[in-house]
Amino acid sequence: MNEAKNAAKAPAVIELDPGTYYWCSCGKSANQPFCDGSHEGTEFTPKTIEITEKKTVALCLCKRTKNPPFCDGSHTEL
Question: CA 38, CA 50: separation in Å to the nearest integer?
Answer: 21
Domains of the chain, by residue range, sit at 12-66
What Å distances lie between residue 54 and 18, 36, 62, CA to CA? 5, 23, 24
Nearest one of 22, 31, 71, 25 to 49, comparing CA atoms: 22
Q: Is the pTM of this model over 0.85?
A: yes
- Asked if 38 contacts 30 with a C-beta cutoff of 8 angstroms, the reply is yes
With a CB cutoff of 8 Å and minimum separation 6, the contacts of 76 are none
Q: What is the pLDDT along the chain (78 residues), one digit of tens a residue?
A: 578 999 999 999 999 999 999 999 999 999 999 999 999 999 999 999 999 999 999 999 999 999 999 999 999 998
